């Protein structure tokens, strides 16, 4: 049965370059691939209608083409700015090219709804690197992990104003302990005349950094402005400070905010 791959994202995000490399790698692994490029499909059908209804029609057309190709994989790269379009295509694998903040078409930028469900989120335009990562998972049918709420988990509590490479280093140290981490965001926007980012912004910073490699291995929780953690007798968990060299400890969120012109 044909597996459908959707490579989606804003115009100029690098979808076509990635699709080209994914196709080549899958074929090198002995898989057959039919590639449907959205612009070529529009050209073949002489359909240049970019209204919402025209875009919906295009997504249904891509699905219909994928159902009749007869190869191991049907690879489609198109913007798919609307959730309905992604649902219409019924992808087995969804790759979100999240490499730019805005594309060259303002109407598409306004229409674009960031996906909540995807298999891979790619934040840099390096088709060789990420095509290898994606194809390894597809060939092995290796899905991304699903967070297990009953599994032993490490807690990270902080303001993350903003999330930076030092926090990433701590996360990587902690996830090695149990394989999953819950990141708790203290609700502190405006506290002490600083902390300029709201919780949704902080979540966005964290997800953009961690999703490419750690999707499904962490959860984010918003918590009150916790200033003390206490417990009585032995309660079945431990706490501790992780130490790093100066290249990590010298990273300062305060300095990063100053460079951004923020308090």
Q: What is the CATH number of the domain that holds 163?
A: 3.40.50.620
Asked whether residue 8 falls in the same domain as residue 125, the answer is: yes
Whether 87 and 17 map to the same domain: the answer is yes
Confidence of residue 98 (pLDDT cuts 50, 70, 90): very high
Domain count, the chain: 2
Final residue in a domain of this structure, among 139, 166, 200: 139
pLDDT band for position 230 (cuts 50, 70, 90): confident
Which domain-ending residue is among 84, 115, 139? 139
Q: What are 186-219's pLDDT values in tens digits?
A: 999 999 999 999 999 999 999 999 999 999 999 9
pTM: 0.86
Does the residue 227 lie in any domain? yes
**How many of the other CB atoms lie within 10 Å of CB of 245?**
8
For residue 240, the tally of other CB atoms under 10 A from its CB is: 5
Task: Check whether residue 111 and residue 169 sit in a common domain.
Answer: no
Contacts of residue 19, defined as CB under 8 A and 6 or more positions apart, other chains included, come to 7, 35, 37, 75, 77
**Is the same domain home to 129 and 250?**
no
Which pLDDT belongs to residue 237?
Answer: 84
pLDDT for the residue 3: 97
* Average pLDDT of the segment spanning 94-108: 96
Q: What percent of the chain has pLDDT over 70?
A: 100
Q: Which domain holds residue 175?
A: 154-259
Residues 184, 123 share a domain: no
Is the domain of 127 the same as that of 177?
Answer: no
- Measured from the Cβ of residue 230, the count of other Cβ atoms closer than 10 Å reads 4
Cβ(20)–Cβ(67) below 8 Å:
no
How far apart CA 45 and CA 60 sit, in angstroms, is 13
Residues 168 and 245 in one domain: yes
Give the pLDDT band (50/70/90) at residue 99: very high
3-state SS assignment for residue 139: helix
Residue 148 lies in a domain: no
In a domain, 255, yes or no: yes
How far is 19 from 31, CA to CA, in rounded Å? Answer: 15
* Interval 179-186 mean pLDDT: 98
Q: Which CATH number goes with the domain that contains 125?
A: 3.40.50.300
Cα(75)–Cα(77) distance, rounded to whole angstroms?
A: 7
Pairwise CA distance, residues 127 & 25, whole Å:
11
The Cα 158–Cα 226 span in angstroms is 9
72 and 167, same domain (yes or no):
no
What is the arithmetic mean of pLDDT over 226-254? 89
Q: What are the backbone angles phi and psi of residue 230, rounded to the nearest 5°?
A: -135, 155
Q: Give yes or no: residues 119 and 163 share one domain.
A: no
Q: Is the pLDDT of residue 233 over 80?
A: no
In a domain, 144, yes or no: no
Percent of the chain with pLDDT over 90: 93
Structure tokens, 210:
């961690």
Residue 253 confidence class, pLDDT cut points 50, 70, 90 = very high
Structure tokens at 174: 């902690």
> Same structural domain for residues 168 and 74?
no
Residues 121 and 185 in one domain: no
236 CB neighbour count, 10 Å cutoff: 6
In a domain, 146, yes or no: no
pLDDT at 234 over 80: no
Query: Is the model's pLDDT at 260 over the cut of 80?
Result: yes
Output the average pLDDT for the chain. 95
Judge if 50 and 171 occupy the same domain. Answer: no
Average pLDDT rounded to a whole number, residues 32-49: 96
């Amino acid at each position: 049965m044909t597996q459908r791959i959707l490579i989606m994202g804003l115009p100029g995000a690098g979808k076509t370059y990635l699709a080209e490399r994914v196709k080549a790698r899958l074929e090198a692994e002995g898989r057959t691939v039919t590639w449907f490029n959205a612009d070529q499909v529009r050209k073949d059908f002489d359909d240049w209608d970019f209204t919402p209804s025209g875009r919906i029609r295009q997504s249904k057309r891509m699905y219909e083409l994928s159902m009749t190709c007869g190869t191991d994989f049907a690879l489609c790269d198109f913007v798919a700015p609307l959730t309905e379009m992604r649902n219409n295509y019924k992808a087995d694998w969804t790759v979100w090219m999240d490499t730019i903040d805005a594309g060259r078409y303002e109407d598409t930028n306004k229409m674009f709804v960031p996906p909540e469900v995807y298999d891979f989120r790619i934040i840099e335009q390096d088709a060789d690197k990420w095509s290898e990562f994606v194809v390894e998972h597809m060939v092995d049918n290796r899905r991304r992990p699903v967070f297990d709420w009953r599994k032993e988990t490490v807690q990270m509590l902080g303001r993350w104003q903003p999330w930076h490479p030092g926090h990433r280093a701590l996360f990587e140290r902690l996830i090695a302990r149990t394989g999953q981490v819950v990141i708790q965001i203290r609700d502190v926007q405006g506290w002490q005349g600083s902390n300029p980012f709201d919780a949704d912004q902080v979540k966005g910073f964290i997800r953009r950094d961690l999703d490419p490699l750690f999707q499904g291995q962490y959860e984010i929780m918003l918590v009150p402005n916790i200033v003390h953690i206490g417990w009585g007798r032995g309660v079945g968990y431990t706490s501790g400070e992780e130490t790093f060299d100066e290249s990590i400890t010298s990273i300062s969120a305060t300095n990063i905010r100053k460079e951004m012109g923020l308090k």
